[in-house]
Amino acid sequence: MHFSSSLVGVFSLLCSQAVAIPDLKARDLNSFVTGERTIALQGALNNIGPHGSQVAGAGNFVIASPSTENPNYFYTWTRDSALTMKMIIDEFIFGNTKLQPYIEEYIHAQAILQTVSNPSGTFLPNGLGLGEPKYQPDGTRFNGAWGRPQRDGPALRAIALITYSNWLIENGQSTKARTVIWPIISNDLSYVGQYWNQTGFDLWEEVLGSSFFTIQNQHRSLVQGTQLAKDLRVTCTGCDQAPEILCFLQSFWNGKYIVSNINVNNGRTGLDGNSILGAIATFDIDAYCDSPTFQPCNNKMLSNFRYLMDSFRETYSINAGIPEGQGVAVGRYSEDVYQGGNPWYLITTAAAEYLYDAVAQWKARHNLVVDADSLPFFQDLYPSVTIRQYNSGNANSPFSQIINAVTSYADSFVAIAQKYTPANGSLAEQFNRDTGVPLSARDLTWSYAAFVTLAQRRAGQYPTTWGTRQAASPPATCSGTSTTGVYAPATAAGAPNVTSTCQVNIVFNVNATTYFGENIYVIGNTDDLGAWDINNAVPLGAGGYTSQRPLWSVSTYLNAGETASYKYVRQENCNQPYIYETLNRTLTIPTCGSAPITVEDAWVGAVGTAGSC
Ligand code: NOJ
Ligand code: NOJ
């Protein structure tokens, strides 16, 4: 799995290609998509370490964005990486053979990453660490406070690796798929089968509950895993959970639209780009539109699409005056405030991709059924539509006219993306809801990956079926079952042969008087305490801070039997230098199986002073 130096040449070739194509805004839509597709693919590759031109210093990882502040996205997220790699794998299968080294490096790096202990837990014995959303750019753990766990990551990674494994099988390399890649997939599917019925954070890392996007992808991963296991003659632990997950998936529909986050009460409508991102990630060209997997051509999903677009039409001033049935700028959800709560490139292009997917499915089925749920969606585009089945016919048939209308609708979302894409084709995360100016993380890898998948669908390139027709139907009554996973390091792909890491729960309590705006961290010599790297110190919380007791606290897990040196650090409110305690403390973590211990400390060292920034 390691690369010979000749492959390095391939990387530098890919990385040095000049991609500046001026004046993208002035082009017609076809020419814009063609030009931007090239820029977007290169934009994604530029953010993949260690060779990517924008991410010097990163390991073999897909970095979310080169942006290191406001926001700092110089990390690797399991979700962003897997979605990007799925795009790269599909590009490879569609014929871009130069991309194979990126896939091979991903396999190797993810095998290692699976074994890294992190704040979500350890890899062994129970797979808990697989739910960690993000890691440092070199693949070491990230200790900061975060919305964790996020349970979509293992499913998305499995889907990407299964897609590549299927290609290997078709190309006479089943042995490699079985011995090298299956062990990675097996860990991820074990995680899905074991934890799907437990809440986690959504793809936007904000809501602790059950997320449509996550559940939909989890289901897909197990259906595809079942088939791959058969093909490779191996056992899939956890795949038996697929019908139960599909059963649960039905509960996100509220009669009008998909409530994207359930098992949570956060005051939102639930209308969220989550649902269309889920539908495009689980798109199956062979699926029937009434498949319980909620495909793009599904009537309930079309109703959802209409409600969702209306919510953004009413939210962003750049959408003012755009009538129903025409593309708008699309964001995460209308109540969003992150970085100002703006439209996102990747979700605007997802809306277009969604519609191209639906069109492709109707064409492939040679018919389209309009029901009461989808009628308003179709009426916006083709006013004379009625509730009935439309069978394919000649170019003037109602079927063809509807197909043309939906295709134009899709194109109108691409035109919105074009309008707000700068002339050099760079894609940030968001664009301003009032002015359309790009903002938040620049050169977002996921924005680029999303553009490429949109361009694939628009060009009629579809990944092969993932087996929606073969998937077992959901049971009549759902139950929250679980299958205990089997976890083992994927050593043939390069994972270290780790054994079970025994950890003990340690609570750090420190009395430290602070002013408003100041923060306290604990830092130490072990990886779980940040290895003296201040950027990776463990944050304490002030939830228990009172005028009687200035308590800062964190509950964490440290390796049994280890002796750690540590101290507390103050972070000031205006970027003044960090203030470290003036002593080194020592803590010997007790042996495996010990009860949790609480350390009671009091701050030793200088106090902070509020800056006036
Ligand atoms: C960072 C996350 O990446 C983003 O999705 C979220 O909106 C903000 N934190 C606020 O929670
Ligand atoms: C914030 C987004 O909400 C999240 O989905 C993404 O994984 C990270 N940014 C990194 O791009």
What tens digit of pLDDT does each residue of 203-257 get?
A: 999 999 999 999 999 999 999 999 999 999 999 999 999 999 999 999 999 999 9
- Of the ligands numbered here, which is closest to the C-alpha atom of 76? 2
Which pLDDT band, with edges at 50, 70 and 90, does 22 fall under? low
Residue 35 burial (10 A CB sphere; 0-12, 13-18, 19+): middle
Residue owning the nearest CA to atom 5 of ligand 1? 204
For the ranges 3-7, 121-125, 296-300, 437-441, the lowest mean pLDDT is seen at: 3-7
Domains in the chain (CATH in brackets) are 5-458 (1.50.10.10), 501-602 (2.60.40.10)
Helix (H, G, I), strand (E, B) or coil at 179: helix
Residue 510 forms beta bridges with which residues? 552, 601
Helix (H, G, I), strand (E, B) or coil at 223: helix
Please give the distance, rounded to the nearest whole angstrom, from the Cα atom of residue 265 to the centre of ligand 2: 22
Residue 563 forms beta bridges with which residues? 588
Question: Which of 61, 80, 447, when mutated, tests ligand 2's pocket best, judged by the most ligand atoms within 8 Å of its CB?
Answer: 80
Question: Which of 48, 63, 70, 79, when mutated, tests ligand 2's pocket best, judged by the most ligand atoms within 8 Å of its CB?
Answer: 79
Residue owning the nearest CA to atom 9 of ligand 1? 205
Give the closest residue to 472 by CA, choosing from 169, 240, 171.
Answer: 240
Asked if the model's pLDDT at residue 430 lies above 90, the reply is yes
Query: Which ligand 1 atom sits closest to the C-alpha of 338?
Result: 7
SS3 readout for 430-471: EECCCCCCEECCCCCHHHHHHHHHHHHHHCCCCCCCCCCCCC
CA separation (Å) from 137 to 41, 54, 57, 81, 131?
20, 12, 8, 12, 17
Residue 344 burial (10 A CB sphere; 0-12, 13-18, 19+): buried
The CA-based angle 24-29-34, given to 5 degrees, is 65
**Bridge-based pairing state of the strands 388-391 and 585-588:** unpaired
Largest CA distance in the chain: 82
Which residues line the pocket of ligand 2, CB cutoff 6 A?
64, 73, 77, 79-80, 203-205, 446
Q: Kindly report the pTM of this predicted structure.
A: 0.95
Residue owning the nearest CA to atom 5 of ligand 2? 204
Residue owning the nearest CA to atom 11 of ligand 2? 64
Helix (H, G, I), strand (E, B) or coil at 21: coil
Please give the distance, rounded to the nearest whole angstrom, from the Cα atom of residue 445 to the centre of ligand 2: 10
Residue owning the nearest CA to atom 1 of ligand 2? 204
Q: Would you state the pLDDT for residue 24?
A: 81
Give the closest residue to 462 by CA, choosing from 302, 284, 289.
Answer: 284
Query: Which ligand 1 atom sits closest to the C-alpha of 204?
Result: 5
- Of the ligands numbered here, which is closest to the C-alpha atom of 79? 2
pLDDT above 70 as % of the chain: 96
Q: Which two tokens stand for residue 7?
A: 């492959």
Asked if the model's pLDDT at residue 6 lies above 90, the reply is no
Single-letter amino acid code for the residue at 174: S
Give the closest residue to 29 by CA, choosing from 322, 454, 404, 414.
Answer: 414
Please give the distance, rounded to the nearest whole angstrom, from the Cα atom of residue 327 to the centre of ligand 1: 26
Question: Which of 63, 75, 204, 427, when mutated, tests ligand 2's pocket best, judged by the most ligand atoms within 8 Å of its CB?
Answer: 204
CA 116 to chain centre: 19
Which pLDDT band, with edges at 50, 70 and 90, does 525 fall under? very high
Q: Chain-wide mean pLDDT for the chain?
A: 96
Q: What is the dihedral of CA 12, 13, 14, 15, to 10 degrees?
A: 40
356 neighbors 349 (Cβ within 8 angstroms): no
CA 234 to chain centre: 28
Q: How far apart are CA 152 and CA 377, in angstroms?
A: 29
Q: What is the mean pLDDT of residues 493-512?
A: 96
CA separation (Å) from 567 to 439, 532, 596?
38, 10, 20
Residue owning the nearest CA to atom 10 of ligand 1? 338
Please give the distance, rounded to the nearest whole angstrom, from the Cα atom of residue 204 to the centre of ligand 2: 6
Please give the distance, rounded to the nearest whole angstrom, from the Cα atom of residue 338 to the centre of ligand 1: 7
Binding site residue list = 146
Would you say the CB of residue 204 lies under 6 angstroms from ligand 1? yes
Asked if the model's pLDDT at residue 73 lies above 80, the reply is yes
H/E stretch holding 504 reads: strand 503-511
Helix (H, G, I), strand (E, B) or coil at 249: helix
474 neighbors 246 (Cβ within 8 angstroms): yes
Q: Which two tokens stand for residue 563?
A: 């002796």
- E strand segments, 93-190: 134-135
Would you say the CB of residue 338 lies under 6 angstroms from ligand 1? yes
Single-letter amino acid code for the residue at 353: E
Please give the distance, rounded to the nearest whole angstrom, from the Cα atom of residue 208 to the centre of ligand 2: 15
Q: Would you state the pLDDT for residue 25?
A: 79
In angstroms, how far is the first alpha carbon of the chain from the final one? 51
Q: How far apart are CA 402 and CA 382, in angstroms?
A: 6
- Return the half-sphere exposure (C-beta side, CA atoms, 13 A cut-off) of residue 432: 7
- pLDDT digits 0-9 by tens, 124-166: 999 999 999 999 999 999 999 999 999 999 999 999 999 999 9
Would you say the CB of residue 146 lies under 6 angstroms from ligand 1? no
Q: To 10 degrees, what angle do helices 445-458 and 29-46 make?
A: 140
Residue owning the nearest CA to atom 4 of ligand 2? 204
Asked if the model's pLDDT at residue 17 lies above 60, the reply is no
Binding site residue list for substrate = 146
- Of the ligands numbered here, which is closest to the C-alpha atom of 64? 2
- pLDDT digits 0-9 by tens, 371-407: 999 999 999 999 999 999 999 999 999 999 999 999 9
Could you tell me which residue, 295 or 4, shows the higher pLDDT? 295
Q: Which two tokens stand for residue 587?
A: 């803590």
Q: How far apart are CA 280 and CA 296, in angstroms?
A: 7
Q: Which two tokens stand for residue 428?
A: 């940030």
- Return the half-sphere exposure (C-beta side, CA atoms, 13 A cut-off) of residue 69: 2
Residue 434 burial (10 A CB sphere; 0-12, 13-18, 19+): exposed
Long-range contacts of 48-54 (CB under 8 A, 24+ apart): 48/84, 48/102, 48/445, 49/137, 51/8, 51/11, 51/12, 51/14, 51/15, 52/15, 53/15, 53/16, 54/443
Q: What is the mean pLDDT of residues 37-59?
A: 98
Active-site residue list: 202, 205
Q: Which two tokens stand for residue 3?
A: 């690369």
